[in-house]
Structure formats: structure tokens, C-alpha cells
């Protein structure tokens, strides 16, 4: 389920209730959408081809840079999610 459809289907109060009761299964499954899985498979396929053509040193540097970038992305997404959660909580308290 993508996030837009989820938010259309659930009211703000429903979302807060699910978070409060730790009913996060639906929210966690959003990132494992069909599109996400398809793009992951495409990335894997291309990576396999690339790994056949490069030295271990280049592959190591490539993976290191990818991991560093992914870590930065994850931190940024966490901060955005945290800010959003605070806004939802503040809205619920009004």
C-alpha cells in the first residue's frame, strides 16, 4: 500500500490511535510496495553486471559510498518522520 492511499483511507485520528497502540503493521508495509520491490530487483540485476566488470577495490569503494549515502538518506528520512510525528501529536492535542 502506498502512503497516499493509506492517508486517504485513514483519518488523522486513526493514525494516531494506531501509533499509540503500537499497531504499526500497515505503516511498516508501505515501504515494501510493489514498486519498491520491482526497483530493488532492477538494482540487483545491474549491480551483478557491474560487479563482473570491476576490481574488488572499486567494488569496495562503490559499496562504501553507497552505504554512506544510504546512511545520510536514512538519517534525513528519520528526521523528517520525527518532525511529522511531532506535528501529528501537536495536532491531536489541539
The pLDDT of residue 54? 83
Instruction: State the average pLDDT over residues 19-28.
Output: 63
pLDDT of residue 65: 92
Q: Are residues 89 and 73 in the same domain?
A: yes
Q: Which residues contact 9 (CB under 8 A, 6 or more apart)?
A: none
Task: Report residue 55's pLDDT band, with 50, 70 and 90 as the boundaries.
Answer: confident
Total number of domains constituting the chain: 2
**Are 47 and 75 in a shared domain?**
no
Q: Are residues 28 and 1 in the same domain?
A: yes
State if pTM tops 0.75.
no
Comparison of pLDDT for 70 and 32, the residue scoring more: 70
Task: Count CB atoms within 10 A of the CB of residue 6.
Answer: 15
- Does 59 lie in the same domain as 15? no
Could you tell me how far CA 28 lies from the centroid of its own chain? Answer: 9
Question: Dihedral of CA 24/77/38/3: which sign?
Answer: positive
| Structural domain of 46 | 1-53
- If pLDDT is split at 50, 70 and 90, which confidence band does 4 have? low
Amino acid at each position: 500500500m502506498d502512503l497516499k492511499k493509506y492517508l486517504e483511507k485513514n483519518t488523522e485520528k486513526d493514525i494516531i490511535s494506531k501509533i499509540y497502540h503500537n499497531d504499526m503493521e500497515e505503516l511498516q508495509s508501505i515501504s515494501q510496495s510493489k514498486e519498491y520491490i520491482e526497483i530493488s530487483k532492477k538494482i540487483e540485476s545491474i549491480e551483478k553486471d557491474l560487479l563482473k566488470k570491476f576490481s574488488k577495490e572499486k567494488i569496495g569503494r562503490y559499496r562504501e559510498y553507497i552505504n554512506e549515502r544510504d546512511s545520510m538518506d536514512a538519517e534525513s528520512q528519520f528526521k523528517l518522520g520525527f518532525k511529522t510525528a511531532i506535528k501529528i501529536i501537536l495536532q491531536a492535542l489541539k
